[in-house]
């Protein structure tokens, strides 16, 4: 059974970088008829907030990424503690007493000497008496995992063969001085207990993977398969971290992006597939393949996402959005069919509906021309042929053609340079509004 996990921390809102990974995990699990595990990594008790957890659950549901398994790390503290004790007993975890200031000075010295700033394992040389003396002075140990200082290799499902020499890494701190766990140990313990088969995440975790593989092995567990995909960058290649506040999933939602548009965009971004709208999440599942994920940074372009969103909305039937449209003042299928080709976000429909349902202050470029056009307005009933018949008559009477004919009429009737097709809009506006606007009246 394939089991993958998405493990956000409830210390803030989900952003597109998080969701990129969530999408890949979810698609892979569904393609292999496996399970998607949503794990809330809330061991950072100072920064974790229940409102952020609630937002994560809401945003995931909005996107359609349902989970099969759910857990909170904080509720598994006893299990993590037992694993830590086992690692201490086996000699894989050892106490270290340096303060942050001491470690910082040591790193600076190493850098000044042109040496890599790797922890020198000084704590391993402490005797029992040394440790007792330090603790009598009030120092409390943090606990480091003793790396093998050998080469760790694995076949990455995106990157291929990967080799990292842990002799070039600092022994990672797994437990703070106050006894709280850092991310790494609870993550590995939970991956073991929930039988995670594949860890799919950003390439910024590649180096961490070497240490984590050794922790899996120290716990007597077989490491899962790994896949590290390129991180998202901005449209111009800039790091998204500098702009992440504007790329939270909540803000993207509030900005009018539809869930399928975002899911489609993130599912295709960074792959060899063209950016295209999926017919459904199930369709995206069938297309997913690690072999399609490239090594180059994946570019996130809000304009490209907007284009995908517009394409989705243009194809939506009235019944699919009827309730949402009613809140925007769009209460008929005819009006939706008239304006939907001009919307990028659904909220645009409310702005365009005003052309029919609200009052418009016309822009009259030539009062004489507008007056002549008003004289030639045909009687109702009107249909989609009315616009063509009317403008033909206006052209014959005034000699205006092309832009000189159509542009002043659009400005007079909509006060806009562009918009929905006038042949569809005119019958919905009706003769009374049309006549009033041609006279320069707000109607």
Question: Considering the chain, what is the average pLDDT of its residues?
Answer: 95
Distances (CA, A) of 239 to 160, 203, 230, 298: 25, 14, 12, 11
The 3-state DSSP class for residue 69 equals strand
Over 80: is that where the pLDDT of 240 sits? no
pLDDT at res. 236: 82
Q: Are 156 and 170 in contact (CB under 8 A)?
A: no
CATH number of 234-314: 1.10.1160.10
- Mean of the pLDDT values across residues 307-319? 96
Q: Which fold has domain 80-175?
A: 3.90.800
pLDDT at res. 239: 78
pLDDT at res. 24: 98
pLDDT at res. 19: 95
CATH number of 3-70+184-230: 3.40.50.620
Could you give the CA distance from residue 159 to residue 295 in angstroms, rounded to a whole number? 7
Over 80: is that where the pLDDT of 243 sits? no
Could you give the CA distance from residue 184 to residue 77 in angstroms, rounded to a whole number? 13
Longest dimension (CA), the chain: 107
Q: Are 265 and 299 in contact (CB under 8 A)?
A: no
Over 50: is that where the pLDDT of 244 sits? no
The pLDDT tens digits for 272-288 are 999 999 999 999 999 99
Domains of the chain, residue spans:
3-70+184-230, 80-175, 234-314, 318-357, 367-438
Give helix then strand counts, H and E, for the chain: 18, 12
CATH number of 367-438: 1.10.10.350
Name the burial class of residue 78, with classes exposed (0-12), middle (13-18) and buried (19+) by CB atoms within 10 angstroms of its CB. exposed
pLDDT at res. 246: 59
pLDDT band at 241, cuts 50/70/90? low
The pLDDT tens digits for 350-397 are 999 999 999 999 999 999 999 999 999 999 999 999 999 999 999 999
The pLDDT tens digits for 32-70 are 999 999 999 999 888 999 999 999 999 999 999 999 999
Supply 203's token pair.
């390439």
Supply 177's token pair.
């001085």
Q: Indicate the pTM of the whole model.
A: 0.91
pLDDT band at 245, cuts 50/70/90? low
Asked whether the CA dihedral 322, 326, 328, 329 is positive or negative, the reply is positive
Residue 6 neighbours by CB distance under 10 Å: 26
pLDDT band at 242, cuts 50/70/90? very low
Q: Please confirm whether the linkage preceding 51 is cis (ω < 30° from 0).
A: no
The pLDDT tens digits for 411-423 are 999 999 999 999 9
């Amino acid at each position: 059974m394939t089991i993958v996990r998405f493990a956000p921390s409830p210390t803030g809102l989900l952003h597109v970088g998080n969701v990129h990974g969530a999408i890949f995990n979810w698609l892979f699990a569904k393609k292999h008829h496996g399970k998607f595990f949503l794990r809330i990594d809330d061991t950072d008790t100072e920064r974790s907030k229940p409102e952020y957890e609630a937002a994560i659950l809401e945003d995931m549901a909005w996107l359609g990424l349902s989970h099969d398994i759910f857990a909170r790390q904080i509720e598994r503290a006893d299990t993590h503690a037992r694993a830590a004790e086992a690692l201490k007993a086996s000699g894989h975890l050892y106490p270290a007493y340096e303060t942050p200031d001491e470690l910082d000075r040591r790193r600076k010295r190493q850098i000044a000497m042109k040496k890599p700033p790797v922890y020198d394992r000084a704590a391993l040389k402490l005797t029992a008496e040394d440790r007792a003396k330090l603790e009598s002075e009030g120092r409390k140990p943090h606990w480091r995992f003793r790396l093998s200082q050998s080469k760790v290799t694995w076949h990455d499902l995106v990157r291929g063969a990967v080799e990292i020499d842990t002799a070039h890494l600092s022994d990672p701190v797994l437990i703070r001085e106050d006894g709280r766990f850092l991310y790494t140990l609870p993550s590995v313990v939970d991956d073991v207990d929930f039988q995670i088969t594949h860890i799919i995440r950003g390439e910024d975790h590649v180096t961490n993977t070497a240490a984590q593989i050794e922790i899996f092995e120290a716990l007597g567990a077989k490491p899962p398969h790994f896949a590290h995909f390129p991180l998202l960058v901005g449209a111009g290649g800039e790091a998204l971290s500098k702009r992440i506040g504007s790329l939270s999933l909540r803000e993207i939602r509030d900005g009018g992006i539809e869930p399928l548009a975002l899911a489609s965009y993130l599912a295709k971004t960074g792959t060899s597939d063209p950016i295209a709208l999926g017919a459904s999440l199930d369709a995206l599942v069938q297309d997913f393949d690690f072999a399609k994920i490239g090594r180059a940074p994946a570019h996130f372009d809000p304009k490209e996402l907007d284009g995908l969103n517009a394409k989705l909305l243009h194809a939506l039937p009235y019944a699919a959005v009827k309730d949402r449209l009613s809140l925007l003042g769009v209460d008929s299928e005819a009006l939706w069919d008239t304006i939907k080709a001009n919307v990028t976000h659904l909220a645009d429909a409310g702005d365009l509906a005003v052309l029919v349902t609200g009052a418009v202050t016309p822009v009259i470029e030539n009062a004489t021309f507008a007056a002549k056009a008003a004289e030639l307005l045909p009687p109702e009933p009107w249909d989609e042929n009315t616009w063509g018949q009317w403008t033909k008559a206006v052209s014959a009477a005034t000699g205006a053609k092309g832009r000189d004919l159509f542009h002043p009429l659009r400005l007079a009737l909509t006060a806009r340079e562009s918009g929905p097709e006038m042949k569809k809009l005119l019958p919905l506006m009706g003769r009374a509004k049309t006549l009033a606007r041609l006279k320069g009246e707000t109607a």
